[in-house]
Amino acid sequence: MRIVVSGYHGMGNLGDEAVLAAFIQELREIAPKVECVALSGDPARTESAYGIAAIPRTSISAILRELGRADLFVSGGGSLLQDVTGRGSVPYYAGLMLLARALGKPVSVYAQGVGPLNSWFSRWLACQALKRASVVTLRDPGSMELLREIGVDRPPPVLVADPAFALDPEDPGDSRSWLHEHPQVMFALRPWPGEDGREAGYARVIGRVSAETGARVALLAFQPETDLAMARRIRDLCDAGGWAHPDVVELRGSPGQALSVISHADLVVGMRLHSLIFAASAGVPAVAIDYDPKVRAMAERTSNAHVVSVDAPPEELIQAVLDAWRQRDEIRAELALGAADLRGQAREAARLALSP
């Protein structure tokens, strides 16, 4: 059997790499003889990281060749069918699904978070592609509801968990050098347009949190190409304000190593979705910064009550972080109860993806 899998792979985003890593991990357990080819922005890196074949994600000739040889096309996971980050996402990912069907190949939609779909064209095109899939699994109830709204009832969608919940931790490698024995709060922020002074606000939050908890603070760059410069600016603002000096950490290792890093935290403050998923998976309390519906949806799935809007004033985020810090022991106990179920759902998503 030969599978072609698409997603936002090889683009330097740790969350999307976690999805692929988890899929390959489960694939090797369920069907170790299956050949897998990934569409990637960096095929050489993808091949090296996962030991699979990879082709350029924008090469029509290579995609047609591999789809022609494939027995199954897997779309996902991640937030692929959405039109918030750009108008090209829905045409690209839905177009691949429709191309696979035109070539007579079954399509599995793997643990996706669908939406937002703001334009009529995005909704129509997503509907056409999803209706033609053999299997559709979704990672949150909001996506289930959106499919009902746009008219997708066949195949019946199945609610699962994000694939990263199935990921196994790995040795943290070079990151071990800054993992400390004393309490640690890890922030996983990302650039986001809007209010001026957002970075200065985060510096104030870090200063207060460090002063009131005694914890060391780290700024994790989940997607270094975009997050690292912001993390360094926040660190410099902390230094200029006389506040605690945070560590700035580039997460350039494997997703399993990043999961291991997160597991050493006492609290995570995350905008990056997979920082929150890793925290829940590892039983680490978290405060979610809600900049996109997927963040709130994941907070709801993990019963996380500590959610703050990205546009909230710093004082509101400070209060949420301190509240979570005080409650961290009972939050850990609650997370431990739900982690096994979410891991099981994530593993089931891979099994269903291979079932057509």
DSSP state of 241: T
pLDDT at 182 over 80: no
Instruction: Dump the DSSP string for 6-38.
Output: ESSTTSS-HHHHHHHHHHHHHHHHH-TT-EEEE
Residue 85, pLDDT score: 86
pLDDT at 196 over 80: no
Three-state DSSP state, 334: helix
How many domains is the chain built from?
2
- Mean of per-residue pLDDT scores for the chain: 95
pLDDT tens column, 102-127: 999 999 999 999 999 999 999 999 99
Is 93 in the same domain as 199? no
Residue type, 160: V
Residue 347 lies in a domain: no
Is 26 in the same domain as 140? yes
Is 21 in the same domain as 148? yes
Yes or no: say if 107 and 97 are a contact pair by the CB < 8 Å rule.
Answer: yes
Residue 46 lies in a domain: yes
Residue 341, pLDDT score: 95
Closest by CA to 128, choosing from 108, 151, 160, is: 151
| pTM score of the predicted model | 0.95
Residue 86, pLDDT score: 87
pLDDT tens column, 293-339: 999 999 999 999 999 999 999 999 999 999 999 999 999 999 988 98
Is 104 in the same domain as 246? no
Residue 194, pLDDT score: 81
pLDDT at 200 over 90: yes
245 burial class (0-12, 13-18, 19+ CB within 10 angstroms)? Answer: middle
Is 152 in the same domain as 226? no
**Which residues in 303-320 are b (16+ Cβ under 10 Å) and which e?**
ebebbbebebebeebbbb
Is 105 in the same domain as 189? no
Is 42 in the same domain as 71? yes
Q: What is the torsion angle, in degrees rounded to the nearest 10, for the CA atoms of residue 277, residue 282, residue 284 and residue 286?
A: 0
Paired tokens of 92: 């690209």
Is 147 in the same domain as 181? no
pLDDT tens column, 241-281: 999 999 999 999 999 999 999 999 999 999 999 999 999 99
Residue 17 lies in a domain: yes
Instruction: From residue 191, give the alpha-carbon distance in Å to each of 118, 195, 207, 214.
Output: 22, 11, 20, 27
Residue 206 belongs to domain with CATH number = 3.40.50.2000
User: Looking at 159, 184, 207, which one is the last position of a domain?
Assistant: 159
Residue 63 belongs to domain with CATH number = 3.40.1190.20
Paired tokens of 71: 């027995």
Residue 348 lies in a domain: no
Binned at pLDDT 50, 70 and 90, residue 58 comes out as very high
Q: Could you tell me which residues come within 8 angstroms of residue 180 by beta carbon, excluding any fewer than 6 positions away?
A: 216
Is 42 in the same domain as 17? yes
DSSP state of 286: E
Is 146 in the same domain as 205? no
Residue 178, pLDDT score: 64
High-pLDDT (> 90) share of the chain, %: 92
| In the block, residue with structure tokens 């999307």 | 16
Residue 344 lies in a domain: no
Q: Rg of the chain over CA atoms, in angstroms?
A: 20
| Residue 158 phi, psi (nearest 5) | -115, 130
Residue 352 lies in a domain: no
Is 151 in the same domain as 245? no
Residue 47 lies in a domain: yes
Q: Which domain holds residue 182?
A: 173-339
Residue 29 lies in a domain: yes
Is 147 in the same domain as 221? no
